[in-house]
Amino acid sequence: MPQWAYRRSHPDVIILDPPECIQHVRNRQSMLQKVAELDLQDCGGKVDIPKQIVVTGDPTSFAGSVAAAGLKLPLVAKPLVADGTAKSHAMSLAYNEICLSELEPPLVLQEFVNHGGVLFKVYIVGDANSVVRRFSLPDVDGCQHVDCGMMPFPRISSAAATANETDFEPRAAELPPQKMLDRLSRELRQKLGLRLFNLDIIREGGIGDQYYVIDINYFPGYGKVPDYESLFTKFFVSLASSKGKNVQNISTCNTEAHATRK
């Protein structure tokens, strides 16, 4: 049964997130477009996305495409499709033009931004958001690694342990302004039409007020989020209340099945 027909015949069923909206963030080209359209003012920080292009076809032409787009090496090479599979998380850091021809398209090539080795994962659950620090790639010297070629790297944000208790350089470890995260989360919920997703955010140079959203993940693993059980309980209760459901017996929600994803 088509989803529109199911919605019409089951108007009382609560749909957490529409499938067509989920599909939008499975493509790394389209997922960040909504971020680029934002114009956040007076929220304690500036938000943008790294410069990037999509490459397809003959890998020997990638160096020319990169030059034409004005991208600077090194570049993060990401599979175009972000469907949660291991292949979609197989990323590489390309240090020179020669190694670009070794890549397997279709890909997004994204400028690497030094960020103090700290990644901020912002988890959105309905109207609430929570941020967790994670380890990330170290900063890159423009000349130091020019001969390194290409370096594959794993899903750093999920494979590495949480960085909340680690002795980072204080300025790099400082959390983004909550006012900025609230505005960013609220506007992206509206633009994406989603309520369960997370943002991977970095701070340029590890200091200052310039931030970049480098990835968006739908229904990520919430296991590292403090008090995630309570967040989901409140979320589901609010959804039920909005539909006029009886919520007197709702006290807990079982989210363990998704706690280890992403």
pLDDT for the residue 160: 43
Q: Report if residue 9 sits inside a domain.
A: no
Residues 6+ away with beta carbon under 8 Å from 175: 120, 131, 133
Q: Report if residue 7 sits inside a domain.
A: no
Distance of alpha carbon 176 from the chain centroid: 15
Helix (H, G, I), strand (E, B) or coil at 105: coil
Condensed to tens digits (0 to 9), the pLDDT of residues 153-193 reads 765 544 344 445 455 677 888 999 999 999 999 999 999 99
Number of domains in the chain: 1
**What's the whole-model pTM score?**
0.86
The secondary structure of residue 139, as a DSSP letter, is P
pLDDT for the residue 151: 86
CATH number at residue 119: 3.30.470.20
Q: Report if residue 227 sits inside a domain.
A: yes
Q: How far apart are CA 47 and CA 40, in angstroms?
A: 7
| Domain ranges, residue 148 | 16-258
pLDDT for the residue 157: 46
Q: Report if residue 121 sits inside a domain.
A: yes
How would you class 80 by CB atoms within 10 Å of its CB: exposed for 0-12, middle for 13-18, buried for 19 or more? middle
Q: Report if residue 3 sits inside a domain.
A: no
Q: Report if residue 34 sits inside a domain.
A: yes
User: In tens digits, what is the pLDDT along the chain, a chain of 262 residues?
Assistant: 677 788 788 888 888 899 889 998 999 989 999 999 998 989 999 999 999 999 999 999 999 999 999 999 999 999 999 988 888 888 999 999 999 999 999 999 999 999 999 999 999 999 999 999 998 888 988 655 556 678 887 655 443 444 454 556 778 889 999 999 999 999 999 999 999 999 999 999 999 999 999 999 999 999 889 999 999 999 999 988 887 765 544 443 344 444 444 4
**Rg of the chain in Å (alpha carbons):** 20
Phi, psi dihedral angles at 78 (to 5 degrees): -125, 135
pLDDT for the residue 253: 38
